[in-house]
Amino acid sequence: MARVAGMRVDYANRTMRLFSASVLMGHEPPSATFTVTPTRGNGTAVFSVNASAVSSPYQPSATLQVRWDWEGDGSWDTNWTTAKTAFHSYVSSDTFSIALEVMDGQGVTNRTTRTVLADSTPPTTTATVSGELGADNWYITNVVVNLSSQDPLDGVASVSVRVDNGSWAATLGSHATLRLHDGRHFVEYNATDLLGNVEPEHTIVLKIDTVPPDLLIRPPASVVTSSDIVLTWSGMDSGSGLAGYEVGVDGGNFGLVALNESVTLHLSDGTHDVRVKALDQAGNSAVQEVMFRVDTDILSFSGPYAGLPTVAIIVGVMAAVAYFFWKRRRPPGT
């Protein structure tokens, strides 16, 4: 751009010198003026220039010759011609200074410029995903997707988004925000600049599961009379799916039991608490706990024989005592 500005100053200085020389010689230079349509265009735009308004007090406008410098770099891109219209397309994106030079029959010239914007470059959009990432690229919180688009030459007109092959929705300006909840989501997005250049579509896949698994333990009896206890449960997860179960006994560490929904525990007599944890593929978990007492003592009233041996022993002892006293009270010889 500095080079273009420098070229403009050079053109102006040279024009003033030529103008001053012609005035001294009593010869007025031709007027240099033209229009350009459009002044801003995308990669398919054809810029049309029209210098039919150039004039000279010494000859008809139709006989004046013109030439064009499309980039304003001081290198003339066309030959001298009396045709006052021309067309040009740009293959690169930039702001260009189109220069016109007009010459009369005496070889006296004059110049002027017009600035145009040619932009064939689409915007670029950046997606930023916010949320807590769990296991296996699953998000375990709701997700916010911020789309920010940039176009340095002419600005962004809109950002377009669609989710899960639905309808496209366009938001005016260079930003768009999506809020996504549980599920697997396919997000497509792109942007369009103010000249109609469209960015290629981008896609991101997001997996969201904020809900822990469902878990139900089938508790044993409050008192268990065997050292070997089979504990069963069931679970399900409609989001990311179950990953497995873990079991912990009496405050100890959890141990993985894969997807098995039962475990056999060998426990000593006493009170125990058993915790079962269900985990899903996203890393969410649910825990349930059961408490029960193990009593394998055959003499215990809560044991395996419900105290019958103890009762039998008591009855036996009482019978023996009764027999002893009965025996002592019998008359001798009876």
- Across the beta sheet with 169-172, what order do the strands follow? 138-139, 202-208, 183-193, 156-163, 169-172
Domain locations along the chain: 2-119, 124-208, 214-294
Q: Three-class SS of residue 27? A: coil
In the chain, % of residues over pLDDT 70 = 81
The residue behind tokens 């690229």 is: 137
Q: In which band, very low, low, confident or very high, does the pLDDT at 12 lie, cut at 50, 70 and 90?
A: very low
- pTM as predicted: 0.72
Residue 122 has pLDDT above 80, yes or no: yes
N residues, the chain: 334
- Can 2-119 and 124-208 be said to share one CATH topology? yes
Matching residue, tokens 């896609």 = 203
pLDDT value for 305: 47
Residue 46 CA neighbour count, 13 Å, CB half: 4
The predicted structure's pLDDT at residue 307: 47
Percent of the chain with pLDDT over 90: 76
Q: What is the mean pLDDT of residues 209-231?
A: 92
* Whole-number Å distance between alpha carbons of 278 and 280: 7
Pick the CATH number of 2-119 from 2.60.40.10, 3.20.20.105, 3.40.50.880, 1.10.10.10: 2.60.40.10
Give the 3-state secondary structure of residue 162: strand
- The CATH class of 124-208 is mainly beta
Residue 20, pLDDT > 70, answer no
Backbone angles phi, psi at 76, to 5 degrees: -75, 130
> Rounded to an integer, what distance in angstroms lies between the CA atom of residue 69 and that of residue 108?
18
Is residue 147 within 8 A of residue 161, CB to CB? The reply is yes
Which pLDDT band, with edges at 50, 70 and 90, does 117 fall under? very high
What is the rounded average pLDDT of the residues 171-193? 97
pLDDT of residue 23: 46
| Contacts of 21 by beta carbon, 8 Å cutoff, 6+ apart | none
Bridge partners for 186 per DSSP? 205
Confidence of residue 297 (pLDDT cuts 50, 70, 90): confident
Is the confidence at residue 215, as pLDDT, over 60?
A: yes
Rounded distance between C-alpha atoms, residue 251 and residue 289, angstroms? 11
Total Cβ atoms within 10 A of residue 175? 14
What CATH number is given for 214-294 in this structure? 2.60.40.10
So what's the pLDDT on residue 316? 60
Q: Please say if the pLDDT value at position 186 is more than 50.
A: yes
